[in-house]
Amino acid sequence: MTAVPQLFNYVDGISVHFYQANQNTPPENRIAGFQQVQRIIQPYIPNGKTVPVICSEWGVSTLNAGAVNETNQAWFDVRAWLTNIALGLPVSVCYAFNSLDQYNNPDGFGIVNNPSTGNYKPAFVALYTTTNILSGYFYEGTSSGYAQGDYVYKFYNPGSQTWILVVWTSGNAHYVNVALSGNVYVKDYLGTQRTVSPNGANSIPIYMNGGPQYIYVPYGESVPN
């Protein structure tokens, strides 16, 4: 880039395919890499111009060497999309829709095994669930005070004036207390809903694992800082 300092006069974005050598590596490990790209390009962007980094391809396979299982594929695909939102990436492309490559051979990356029969993998259902739940909501940061590897993302809908917390962990599954005082609805990564009641300490117990969960904050209640 130093050889062509005027490059960003002519481009509108930087496309990154941030695959990881070990497919079982949590997708949150990509965060530092995206931030590094953003730092590298920033000095070369002309004043008054925005040149976003976009994730134009990313996915994990359930078939090839070092493959993940179908549950982890679902978890990772959704978590990659959520972390991209938190990074301010305006475009995220999941590779791929169909689990057949360009030669019609199965490669396991797809979120659908066979589009003609509607054979959806859990990743398809998980991505549908998160986009449906968070439609109309905007990312508003994270809640602090949790262990490293625990994620609590805050989303706000200005129309309904409601909040949803999206929580998961990249570590071992465990319980956390979320500072909410009333009964709440919680949906798992596949959209199954349950009710969680406070544990008596003005907080609700949530069993965090690798699958994103969606906590519907009661109307009028403040979200945790």
Q: Which CATH class is domain 7-133?
A: alpha beta
User: What pLDDT score was predicted for residue 107?
Assistant: 86
By DSSP bridging, strand 184-187 and strand 193-196 are antiparallel
Residue 210: name the closest of 152, 171, 165 by CA.
171
CATH 3.20.20.80 residue ranges of the chain are 7-133
pLDDT per residue of the chain (225 residues) written in tens, 0 to 9: 444 668 888 999 999 998 988 999 999 999 999 999 999 999 989 999 999 999 999 999 999 778 999 999 999 999 999 999 999 999 999 999 988 776 777 789 999 987 777 789 999 999 999 999 999 999 999 999 999 999 999 999 999 999 999 999 999 999 999 999 989 999 999 999 999 999 987 899 999 999 999 999 999 999 988
> Quick one: pLDDT at residue 146?
95
Q: What φ, ψ does residue 9 adopt, rounded to 5°?
A: -75, -20
CATH superfamily of the 138-216 domain: Golgi alpha-mannosidase II (2.60.40.1180)
* pTM for this predicted structure: 0.94
3-state secondary structure of 217: coil
Buried b (16+ CB within 10 A) or exposed e, 129-148: bbeebbeebebeebbeebee
Token pair belonging to 28: 């949150």
Taking Cα atoms as reference points, which of 100, 79, 91, 103 lies closest to residue 31?
79
**pLDDT at residue 3, as a whole number:** 40
Kindly report, as residue ranges, where domains of CATH 2.60.40.1180 are found in the chain: 138-216
- Quick one: pLDDT at residue 1? 43
